[in-house]
Amino acid sequence: MALTEWTRSMEWLAAASADPGACKHEWQNGTTGVALLAAGRFWDVLVVPEELGLRVADLLDELPLLDRGPCLLDTRRRRVGFLLPPEPRTVWVGTGVRLLGAGSWIAAPAPHCRWGALRWLVPPDGTGTLNIPEVMEVALERCAGELSRLQGRAAPAARDRRTALL
């Protein structure tokens, strides 16, 4: 990640913190390298089980015309979080799926962190690019179906727009 892109990414991500200066200081000089960021203002976070989230991240990576949004991996909790535009009326349904919006907080490493138990699979680019909910819906549905077939279960039927089935 080039220095200007890293700086832009850090500024963009730190803006979601209650104290952006302290957040940036922790990322650069702190002991944990992790800061708390508020969801719901600039972005929401769709949290899915790790196995499904990694498949979705791989699928999104294969779409050449798609500008992927940030994606965070938490190997300790076995979860993947995708940053989406904040939409308070959106409902995502599925086993192990949570949408973190206004009033929720996430722990996030510095944007350049691509190693460790908490790391970015796709770091923020600093321009505000987020994952597209409609694309996420299709990707989640497809990957959930693949996992269901691999595990010998039938995939659930689609219910509603922007409803991720897992």
Q: What pLDDT is stored for residue 89 in this prediction?
A: 72
Q: What range defines the domain where residue 10 resides?
A: 3-150
pTM above 0.75, yes or no: yes
- Do the domain assignments include residue 160? no
In a domain, 96, yes or no: yes
pLDDT at 4 over 60: yes
- Would you say residue 156 lies in a domain? no
Q: Is 136 exposed, middle or buried (0-12, 13-18, 19+ CB in 10 A)?
A: buried
Q: Is residue 9 part of a domain?
A: yes
User: Is residue 16 a part of any domain in this protein?
Assistant: yes
Residue 24 lies in a domain: yes
Provide the number of structural domains found in the chain. 1
- Dihedral, 52, 56, 58, 62 alpha carbons, nearest 10: 160
pLDDT > 90: what percent of the chain? 65
Q: Please tell me which residue, 65 or 17, carries the higher pLDDT value.
A: 17
In a domain? residue 166? no
Intra-chain end-to-end CA distance of the chain, in Å = 33
Task: List the one residue out of 18, 20, 46, 19 whose CA is nearest residue 10.
Answer: 20
Please indicate, yes or no, if residue 34 is contained in any of the structural domains: yes
> pLDDT digit string (tens) for 97-127?
999 999 999 999 999 888 889 999 999 999 9
For the chain, give the mean pLDDT. 87
Q: Would you say 136 and 164 are in contact if contact means Cβ atoms under 8 Å apart?
A: yes
pLDDT score recorded for residue 21: 95
Q: Which residue has the tokens 């690019």?
A: 129
